[in-house]
Amino acid sequence: MNEWTSICRVDDIPMLGSRRVARAQGVDVAIFRNDQSEVFALLDRCPHKGGPLSQGIVFGNTVACPLHNFTIGLADGCAQAPDEGCTPRFAVQVQDGVVQLNAHELATHATDLARPKAGPGASTGALGDSSFAVQAPHSS
């Protein structure tokens, strides 16, 4: 299955910032834009204690988790040493300035991982202005 779902334009993601993509099931996906306008997608869940990576600070090709400052690689989702652990990453492509995620991955990848039930990383269930709803998939 190679269907891609259009999410937003690259310019809709702040430079050195992120947005969240809500899914029907599972934790949101965080999409990040670095200072070269490259786009990356990771589960919005830190491998340490589940912090919301979309609220972290992006620098270079990494994001600093807002809870305990783990530095997570945007390309591989892995914590930099001496910290350990990886968060699932998602395939992402940019077509004519539009960010697309793989529809199959959005529906099925890492849906078994939950947001922490309490603490700063817990979901409120409310989506702020920084999230996108997934649009209808299309083939490319």
Among 68, 75, 95, 97, binds ligand FES (CB under 6 A): 68
Residue 133, judged by CB atoms within 10 A of its CB (0-12, 13-18, 19+), counts as exposed
Q: How far apart are CA 100 and CA 122, in angstroms?
A: 27
Window 33-62: contact mask with ligand FES (x via CB under 6 A):
-------------x-xxxx-----------
Q: 13, 21, 29, 67: which one contacts ligand FES (CB under 6 A)?
A: 67
Angstrom CA distances, 32 to 21, 128, 138, 140, stand at 11, 16, 22, 22
> Site mask, ligand FES, residues 104-123, x = CB under 6 A?
-----------------x--
Residues that bind ligand FES (rule: CB under 6 A) add up to a total of: 11
- The answer to whether residues 108 and 91 touch, using CB atoms and an 8 Å cutoff, is no
Q: What is the contact surface with ligand FES in residues (CB under 6 A)?
A: 46, 48-51, 65, 67-70, 121
